[in-house]
Amino acid sequence: MTAVLLDGTATARQIKDELRAEIAALSDRSVRPGLGVVLAGDNPASSVYVRNKTRACDELGIFHETALFPATTTTDEVAAKVQEYGRREDIHGILVQLPLPASVDASRVLSLVDPAKDVDGFHAENLGRLVQKRPRFVPCTPAGIMELLARSDIAVAGKRAVVLGRSDIVGKPMALLLMHADATVTVCHSRTRDLPKVTREGDILVAAMGRAGFVRAEHVKPGAVVIDVGINRVETQEEARDLLDEARLVDFARKGTALVGDVHAPSVREVASALSPVPGGVGPLTIAMLMKNTVKAARLGA
């Protein structure tokens, strides 16, 4: 068995194409969706993520503005910008790129995001609405995974689903969405005993713990659908030989770096029925769902 690769890039393109009609309808009402971004510190990955998100805005005709803060910024400075975005009529969605510098109280900043503009879905009010199955904005990565499953004709109802990771950003909302879709859900974490035994129970396995190549064939039920949320950078030959297949090793030799997920793709491909690749799997969907949430915020606020 060789797993079918789930094409997140193509699915994201479908979602964006559907959004164009919504954006055109808003334009007919003189409304242009707007996204206000807060980027603080000097984290290279965060800069790349923000650049990819604003590029998607440009592609769709969504207005965007990014406020840049140094690593030495204070909570009050970042909070003031978040509150300013909350007051502005041309900003429908607010994105606070995480992680924030250690000098900034991230919990306080996120609590100040207007729930009606919380397009990341991280505010306590929106997480509470998700728990109650009446969501306004769903966190983008879990929402994108549900889109990928649905558009790949992968049934969720009645399945056993295992989520590896319990973060507020991915693990917890992912478990809720799967449960709301009538899966029986188990959440695993660092204290889970006999982890491979538990993860092998999953017809659907979502890996979101931030450890390169952690999930291997021994963790996967034969025929399972495996969703890889991780984004990790490989920079040594030793890691590359372990985590990359022959085709990607050639690319690594040329570039000296490669992105991998939390799943050991070479071994898991031989066990799973379907696998989301890294790159080209969940990542593009996260951005597409941010665009979808921003357009929704504009529609609700118009």
Structure tokens at 249: 């090793």
pLDDT of residue 293: 98
pLDDT tens column, 25-51: 999 999 999 999 999 999 988 999 999
pLDDT tens column, 148-190: 999 999 999 999 999 999 999 999 999 999 999 999 999 999 9
Ramachandran region of residue 82, left (φ > 0), alpha (ψ -120 to 50) or beta?
A: alpha
pLDDT of residue 51: 95
pLDDT of residue 302: 73
> pTM to 2 decimals?
0.96
Position 86 confidence tier, pLDDT thresholds 50, 70, 90: very high
For the residues 72-94, what does the mean pLDDT come to?
98
Query: How far is C-alpha 61 from the chain's CA centre?
Result: 22
pLDDT of residue 105: 97
Q: Among residues of the chain, what percentage have pLDDT more than 90?
A: 96
Whether 30-117 and 140-282 share one fold: the answer is: yes
- The DSSP bridge partners found for residue 274 are 4, 225
Q: Where are the domains of the chain?
A: 30-117, 140-282
Position 107 confidence tier, pLDDT thresholds 50, 70, 90: very high
Tokens 């949430």 found at: 293
How does 23-40 read in b/e, with b if 16+ C-beta sit within 10 Å? beebeeeebebbbbbbbb
CATH architecture of 30-117: 3-Layer(aba) Sandwich (3.40)
Structure tokens at 32: 């242009």
pLDDT of residue 246: 86
DSSP labels, 220-268:
S-TT-EEEE---EEE-SHHHHHHH--HHHHHHHHHHS-EEE-SB-HHHH
Position 218 confidence tier, pLDDT thresholds 50, 70, 90: very high
For the residues 253-258, what does the mean pLDDT come to?
92
- The DSSP bridge partners found for residue 64 are 35
For the residues 55-65, what does the mean pLDDT come to?
98
Active site residues: 53, 97, 120
pLDDT of residue 174: 98
For residues 251, 257, 260 and 266, what is the CA-based torsion angle, rounded to 10 degrees?
Answer: 40
Position 247 confidence tier, pLDDT thresholds 50, 70, 90: confident
Superfamily of domain 140-282: NAD(P)-binding Rossmann-like Domain (3.40.50.720)
